[in-house]
A and B are shown apart, each in its own frame.
Chain A
Amino acid sequence: MSFESLLTLRERLRRREISAEELTRYYLERIERLDPRLRAYITVTPDQALSAAREADRRLAAGEDLPLLGLPVAIKDNICTRGIRTTCASKILENFVPPYDATVVERLKAAGAVLLGKTNLDEFAMGSSTENSTFFPTRNPWDLERVPGGSSGGSAAAVAADLCAASLGSDTGGSIRQPASFCGVVGFKPTYGRVSRYGLVAFASSLDQIGPLTRTVADAALVLQVIGGPDERDSTSWPEPQPDYLEALKAPVEGMKLGLVREAFGEGLSEEVRSVVEEAFRALKDLGCELREVSLPHMEYALAAYYIIAPAEASSNLARYDGVKYGFRAEGRDLLEMYKKTRSEGFGPEVKRRIMLGTYALSAGYYEAFYRKASQVRTLIRRDFEVAFREVDLLLLPASPTPAFRLGEKTDDPLQMYLSDIYTIPVNLAGLPGLSLPVGLAEGKLPVGLQVIGPQLADDRVLALAHHLERALALELKPPLE
């Protein structure tokens, strides 16, 4: 049963070839054996997982048919799980046990999924390498000296190494797509609002979006079908019902017009990534797609706008960590001293950097120059996409300018680290759906992801194209772990 897709495993469970308990034990055994090297998980919950698996077996025996019945999944540790600690990889939440499930977790459980545990991330989802975790860095299953990407690095590595059948991540500036690209799995950030953010620990609320990391595109469609759709507990969730994503995969792609984003194929793109994605373009032409160049003239300003908007929202969202109601507390003689000591000792350097940047950008006298200006540039970026989508059905660009980099390579230079998200950030600013699909190995060793971007709410179209391309490429990606 190794390295199989959710849909294949589901079939095997339904045919009773394997039991949910056997499947869960398979993953728990792999976690025990391989995770000491990879460190994809912060918390593993074997007892709860086995008891949920046995319950799934009872329901399978009774002929129940639920979309994820008996399938073991992992959850990024910034998504609340009732009774299971949710740390955000931060000292400040090290002992936090939520009294409720996030909507996505509630929906996974209702669909019969088995939760294996919580995966590592950059603290509060801030970072591009999972080196900013308070606890330990996660390693890339393809090369243990390299990072898995971030911030959903634990979730991506867990799927890539077959330490779960699928996982959830969150994507504020590329945190699902970039690690998916580095680890050779499918990572999908749906349209903003398609998936409820209730129970996702907020980083930058106007950009955050939960999405699946999976082995195949069809698996991503299946997970999205389960976790997506309107939620009255999140007022920013899209009120209309979602389409049938699995059904949408059957849509033909012949004649589709695909735009290659000119600004992404110039300076800064590594030759190894370029040559792998160009192979994928040839496959798309063979599928009957028409490729043409398009321009996003304001793309070069997206990173700067993001590094005002996201920290500004983060500085406000992270104001709640004051040592009073939950989390870590440091002692102080008075309230102010307690707040300052708690936050200074509880947050790591990257989180502090962003809180400082955000507080500065929102402070008196600077709001117009920074936050308002960045939000206006956000409008121009959104409009660039709208113009491009008048000409083409979908856009293509790499998920990251380079394959996975080495641990420690960028930790001393925040700006260099930020640049690794340059191709993913514009998508969050415009609220679009974006998917990273593995399209090959750079120099035969490290995975490369191609990003497919659609107009708002065209999640189904993105999935359909990626599904057809995946089938055309027919890659078998298995990291050299054992």
Chain B
Amino acid sequence: MAISKEEVQHVAHLARLEFSEEDLERFTRELSSILDYVAKLSEVDTSGVEPTYNALRLTNRFREDQTRSSFPPEEILANAPEREGTSFVVPRVIRS
């Protein structure tokens, strides 16, 4: 199943990735060959077959709704690439 360079570019945007022209060509080629391979799934008759999303078929389990302490802000912020006080810093989102 062929995938076009434009489609790859669109998917890259959705995935928040970007590629150089050279990488784009390579990824287009590789993704096409992998999609060719997975196309064999269409040989299988799956009419009326329920999909499996969890092999153990566990239903949701709930714990008691109790308040409990979480990590102190200092520990959570310790890994931040950029911080100010108790906040993560990101590039400006709202345009002036």
Contacts and interface: CB of A to CB of B under 8 A. Distances in A.
Given A308-B38, A352-B27, A377-B44, A429 B55 contact: yes
B51 A206 contact: no
A239 B90 contact: no
B41 A360 contact: no
A99 interface: yes
A341 B8 CA distance: 17
A83 to B, nearest CB: 10
Contact of B88 (A307, A324, A353): A324
B78 A379 contact: no
Contacts of A45: none
A432 B56 CA distance: 9
A340 B11 CA distance: 12
Contact of A334 (B15, B27, B82, B92): B92
A193 B81 contact: no
Interface in B11-66: 11-12, 14-19, 27, 30-31, 33-35, 37-44, 46, 49-56, 58, 60-61, 63
A82 to B, nearest CB: 10
Nearest to B7: A360
Contacts of A339: 16
A405 interface: no
Interface string A354-388: 01110110010000001011111111101000000
B81 A304 contact: no
A375 B57 CA distance: 13
A12 to B, nearest CB: 39
A191 B57 CA distance: 13
Given A325-B88, A338-B91, A344-B19, A376 B46 contact: yes
A338 B90 contact: yes
Contacts of A191: 56
B63 to A, nearest CB: 5
Interface of A: 95-97, 99-100, 191-193, 206, 232, 235-236, 238-239, 298, 300-301, 303-305, 307-308, 315, 319, 322-329, 332-341, 343-344, 347, 352-353, 355-357, 359-360, 363, 370, 372-380, 382, 414-415, 429-432, 456
B61 A239 contact: yes
Contacts of B19: 344
A344 B17 contact: yes
A323 B80 CA distance: 8
B81 A329 contact: yes
Contact of A380 (B34, B44, B90): B44
* Interface size of B as a range: 35 or more
B52 A379 contact: yes
A431 B17 contact: no
A24 B9 CA distance: 51
24 contacts: A99-B76, A235-B60, A235-B61, A236-B54, A236-B58, A301-B44, A319-B16, A326-B79, A326-B80, A327-B79, A328-B81, A341-B18, A343-B16, A344-B19, A356-B27, A359-B14, A360-B11, A360-B31, A376-B52, A379-B49, A382-B55, A415-B37, A456-B55, A456-B56
Contacts of A319: 16
Contact of A356 (B17, B58, B78): B17
Contacts of A352: 17, 27
Contacts of B39: 304
B78 A97 contact: yes
B18 to A, nearest CB: 5
Which of B15, B33, B51, B82 has the largest count of A CB atoms less than 10 A from its CB? Answer: B15
B30 A353 contact: yes
Given A353-B30, A379-B49, A431 B55 contact: yes
A359 B13 CA distance: 10
Contact of B41 (A192, A206, A327, A377): A377
Contact of A192 (B37, B43, B55, B92): B55
Contact of B51 (A307, A323, A376): A376
A366 to B, nearest CB: 10
A325 B79 contact: yes
A329 B11 contact: no
A97 B16 contact: no
A304 B49 contact: no
B54 A206 contact: yes
Q: 10 nearest interchain CB pairs? A: A431-B55, A375-B51, A329-B81, A326-B79, A376-B46, A99-B75, A359-B15, A304-B38, A378-B52, A376-B49
A110 to B, nearest CB: 20
B80 A325 contact: yes
Contacts of B53: 206, 375
Given A338-B90, A415-B33, A315 B15 contact: yes
A431 B78 CA distance: 37
A370 B38 contact: yes
Interface in B70-93: 71, 75-76, 78-82, 88, 90-93
A307 B34 contact: yes
A303 B27 CA distance: 20
A317 to B, nearest CB: 12
Given A193-B56, A338-B90, 14 more contacts: A96-B79, A191-B56, A307-B37, A324-B90, A325-B79, A326-B80, A340-B17, A344-B18, A353-B30, A356-B12, A357-B31, A376-B51, A379-B52, A415-B37
